[in-house]
Amino acid sequence: MSPLRPDLAIIAREVTAGARVLDVGCGDGALMAALRDEKQVDARGMELDPANVAECVARGLSVIQGDADTDLSDYPEAAFDFAILSQTLQTTMRPDLVVDQLLRIGRKAFVSFPNFAHWRVRLSLLWGGRMPVTRLLPVAWYETPNIHHVTIDDFRALVRDRGITVEGAWFLSGDRLTSAAAANFRAEHAVFLLSR
Amino acid sequence: MSDDARFGLDRHLVLPGPLALDGGGMLAPVELAYETYGTLNADASNAILLCHALTGDQYVASNHPITGKPGWWTRMVGPGRPIDTDRYFVICPNVIGSCMGSSGPESLAPDGQPYAMRFPVITIRDMVRAQAMLLDHLGIGRLYAVVGGSMGGMQAITWAATYPTRVASAVIIASTARHSAQNIAFHEVGRQAIMADPNWRGGDYYVDGKGPDAGLAVARMAAHITYLSEQGLTEKFGRRLQNRDAKTFGFDADFQVESYLRHQGLSFTDRFDANSYLYITRAMDYFDLAEEHGGHLANAFRGVATRFCLVSFDTDWLYPTSESRNIVHALNASGAPVSFVELSAPFGHDSFLLDVPDLNRVVDGFLKAGGL
């Protein structure tokens, strides 16, 4: 199996063995499969794309077709130890409400997203005057699923305003960790571990 | 195994005890017709129960004795198929109330005459209880899986709710946890068509064999429309005329769709008993799994250790995706492991019986992950 995407590798490392996990926007189930196989995690998934869901179920994963914006309310409170939202926050209609739901159904939540304030993005906008197309944001503005671009500082403000505790944060430049201090400028990607 | 008379094609069993019915009262004797495929392993851990739909039968993967046609789910069941008979031991019983060998209105009552309308009204759960007695007889304590589409899905979900420790996995395809007003309404049209046929005679038509064929055919025609999608009907027939160049300005089957439906209705009467149609549609109409559990569907799955897989189809308006989601919601609330996908297929409700490769992939993967 191909190695996990760097943000997923961080999440996979941090999830405690045997935990109950919901992966929201689980894609083809790569993280769930790794958690199940390596950490005996009871992993459940939610995914919008039916082809991905079929792929997951065919891999033996418990995945339901659903939409993070509307279907998280189906789960009871504290049903999971961890709720995971990787690279999906920026595609939701109401990222703030989705984060609230994650922390309602999970005792803790991992949220990872591409940082729109990375220097490459800034340069592209500053010098090119065009919406950036980068490695982590590879799709042109008119067809991108990313409808709520967010920066690391935006996200820090959101969780602060909502009284959410940041239990851990990891900032990635490529597949390398970078410091928290200059993260809003230097990190392409952020992973936050949140709790209430 | 092969010399064990309990296993094989065209089996019959008279259940050892009376069957207590949801409607009150007992049914005895109870006969079940069933087929088995494959070989039960030494610890009886590879058994899959297949539950058939309203007008289905036990001939899931063998030729039908009346029509001569191949089994109704050979796409799914057989060697190398998702429900692999080289790997699993497959049991498919005819439901009680039906007319292919299991006890139903056509069967003889203790007085030697056919029950006809004296047969008790049965429920989906009654069908399932009878199947559980069959499994006892076959020496199967716990099912590797129970699988069903449409009414078969109602049985599968009832199995998990009624015998939570006896079902490891359940596959519920194009089904629902309750019959809606619309579902009941269509069934009532069918029943009234049968009962309005002068040959029905209060159900006592077995003596001379002249049954309410016209009524049963109309019931089948109306039901058949609900199994297809508008898109499917349009693609298959459109407004094309049947063997003619112009409309006749009469009431012959001018349109291909009329001719098709008339054929479906008539050929159905060759293989199905009208009274059975009344009883089984009634059982479906009475089905409401939440009602059986204090009005909350999630209560039906308290303490259930079963893995669930639900599949719906985007063109199915008989049991639309919202009905499957309703079940998924309840399963999530009870913490059961559940997978769900809405597949895209043009065939409406009948998609579960037709060529939908993703359905085979999903069922195959889900069953294999059950850990046999």
We report the CATH number of the domain holding residue B155 as: 3.40.50.1820
Q: To the nearest whole angstrom, how far is the Cα of B356 from the nearest Cα of chain A?
A: 12
Q: Is the pLDDT at B167 greater than 80, yes or no?
A: yes
CA distance B49 to B143: 7
Q: To the nearest whole angstrom, how far is the Cα of A49 from the nearest Cα of chain B?
A: 9
- Contact in structure between A195 and A164 (CB atoms under 8 Å): yes
Give the type of residue at B43.
D
The domain boundary, picked from B265, B282, B299, lies at B282
CA distance A145 to A160: 26
Query: Domain for residue A136, yes or no?
Result: no
CA distance B100 to A117: 70
Residue B288 has phi, psi (to 5 degrees) of: -155, 95
Contact B369 A64 (CB under 8 A): no
- Residue B327: the pLDDT is 97
A-B contacts (CB, under 8 Å): 65
The domain boundary, picked from B231, B262, B282, lies at B282
Q: Are residues B161 and B244 located together in one domain of the fold?
A: no
Number of Cβ within 10 Å of residue B318's Cβ equals 23
**Any idea which residues of B carry the catalytic annotation?**
150, 316, 349
Q: Are residues B119 and B22 located together in one domain of the fold?
A: yes
Q: Is A63 on the interface with B (CB under 8 A)?
A: yes
**A137-168 per-position pLDDT tens digit:** 889 999 999 999 999 999 999 999 999 999 99
Interface of B with A in 284-323 (CB under 8 A): 307, 309
Residues of B in contact with A62 (CB under 8 A): 307, 337-339
- The 8-class DSSP code of residue A72 comes to G
User: H helices within A26-93, ranges in order?
Assistant: 30-39, 50-58, 68-71
Contacts of A115 (CB under 8 A, 6+ apart): A121, A150, A151, A152, A171, A183, A184, A187, A188, A189, A190
Q: Are residues B172 and B215 located together in one domain of the fold?
A: no
pTM beyond 0.90? yes
Contact B366 A57 (CB under 8 A): yes
Residues of B in contact with A23 (CB under 8 A): none
Q: Are residues B77 and B164 located together in one domain of the fold?
A: yes
Q: Are residues B170 and B205 located together in one domain of the fold?
A: no
Interface test with B, best of A59, A64, A75, A104 (most B CBs within 10 A): A64
Count of the separate structural domains present in chain B? 2
Nearest by CB to B361, which of A54, A60, A64?
A: A54
> Does residue B220 come out as left (phi exceeding 0), alpha (psi in the -120 to 50 range) or beta?
alpha
3-state secondary structure chain B: CCCCCCCCCCEEEECCCCEECCCCCEECCCEEEEEEECCCCCCCCCEEEEECCCCCCCCCCCCCCCCCCCCCCCCCEECCCCEECCCCEEEEECCCCCCCCCCCCCCECCCCCECHHHCCCCCHHHHHHHHHHHHHHHCCCCECEEEEECHHHHHHHHHHHHCCCCECEEEEECCCCECCHHHHHHHHHHHHHHHHCCCCHHHCCCCCCCCCHHHHHHHHHHHHHHHCCHHHHHHHCCCCECCCCCCCCCCCCCEHHHHHHHHHHHHHHHHCCHHHHHHHHHHHHHCECCHHHCCCHHHHHCCCCCEEEEEEECCCCCCCHHHHHHHHHHHHHHCCCEEEEEECCCCHHHHHHCCCHHHHHHHHHHHHCCCC
How long, in residues, is chain B?
Answer: 372
Query: Domain for residue A144, yes or no?
Result: no
Instruction: Using pLDDT thresholds of 50, 70 and 90, give the confidence band for residue B1.
Output: very low
- Contact in structure between B153 and B176 (CB atoms under 8 Å): yes
- Computed over every residue of chain B, the mean pLDDT equals 96
Query: Domain for residue A91, yes or no?
Result: yes
Nearest by CB to A57, which of B328, B344, B365?
A: B365
Query: Domain for residue B74, yes or no?
Result: yes
Contacts of B56 (CB under 8 A, 6+ apart): B72, B151, B152
Give the type of residue at A194.
L
**B320-362 per-position pLDDT tens digit:** 999 999 999 999 988 899 999 999 999 999 999 999 999 999 9
Q: Are residues B36 and B119 located together in one domain of the fold?
A: yes
Range of the structural domain that residue A91 is part of: 6-116+149-195
Find the residue in B nearest to A79 (Cα): B335
Contact B361 A64 (CB under 8 A): no
Q: Is the pLDDT at B38 greater than 50, yes or no?
A: yes
CATH number of the structural domain spanning residue B220 = 1.10.1740.110
Contact A50 B344 (CB under 8 A): yes
Query: Domain for residue B6, yes or no?
Result: no
CATH number of the structural domain spanning residue A48 = 3.40.50.150
Query: Domain for residue B230, yes or no?
Result: yes
Residues of A in contact with B337 (CB under 8 A): 42, 44, 62
- The 8-class DSSP code of residue A90 comes to G
Name the one residue in this structure whose structure tokens are 């008993």: B273
Query: Domain for residue A189, yes or no?
Result: yes
The domain boundary, picked from B282, B312, B339, lies at B282
Q: Is B332 on the interface with A (CB under 8 A)?
A: yes
Query: Domain for residue B342, yes or no?
Result: yes
Residues of A in contact with B365 (CB under 8 A): 57-60
Nearest by CB to A57, which of B309, B335, B344?
A: B309
Q: Are residues B123 and B234 located together in one domain of the fold?
A: no
State CA B156 to chain mean position distance. Answer: 10
In sequence order, what are the beta bridge partners of A176?
A173
Query: Domain for residue A100, yes or no?
Result: yes
Lowest mean pLDDT among A96-100, B28-32, B184-188, B368-372: B368-372
Contact A75 B333 (CB under 8 A): yes
Contact A58 B361 (CB under 8 A): yes
Q: Are residues B34 and B100 located together in one domain of the fold?
A: yes
Interface test with A, best of B339, B344, B363 (most A CBs within 10 A): B339
- Computed over every residue of chain A, the mean pLDDT equals 94
**A61-95 per-position pLDDT tens digit:** 999 999 999 999 989 999 999 999 999 999 999 99
Q: Are residues B257 and B305 located together in one domain of the fold?
A: no
Using a pLDDT cut of 90, give the percent of chain B over it.
Answer: 94
CA distance B324 to B310: 7
Residues of B in contact with A70 (CB under 8 A): none
Q: To the nearest whole angstrom, how far is the Cα of A68 from the nearest Cα of chain B?
A: 14
Query: Domain for residue B344, yes or no?
Result: yes
Q: Is B108 on the interface with A (CB under 8 A)?
A: no
Query: Domain for residue A1, yes or no?
Result: no
Q: Are residues B147 and B118 located together in one domain of the fold?
A: yes
Task: Taking the CA atoms of B344, A58, B159 and B329 in sequence, report the sign of the dihedral they define.
Answer: negative
Query: Domain for residue A142, yes or no?
Result: no
Residues of A in contact with B332 (CB under 8 A): 64, 74-76, 79
Q: Is the pLDDT at B17 greater than 90, yes or no?
A: no
Q: Are residues B39 and B159 located together in one domain of the fold?
A: yes
Residues of B in contact with A60 (CB under 8 A): 365-366, 368-369
- Residue B3: the pLDDT is 73
Contact B366 A60 (CB under 8 A): yes
Count of the separate structural domains present in chain A? 1
**B212-229 per-position pLDDT tens digit:** 999 999 999 999 999 999
Range of the structural domain that residue B211 is part of: 183-282
Question: b/e string for A134-173 if b means 16 or more Cβ within 10 A?
Answer: eebbeeeeeeeebebbbbbebbbebbeeeebeeeebbbbb
Q: Are residues B64 and B163 located together in one domain of the fold?
A: yes
Instruction: Using pLDDT thresholds of 50, 70 and 90, give the confidence band for residue B2.
Output: low
Query: Domain for residue A139, yes or no?
Result: no
- Residue B359: the pLDDT is 95
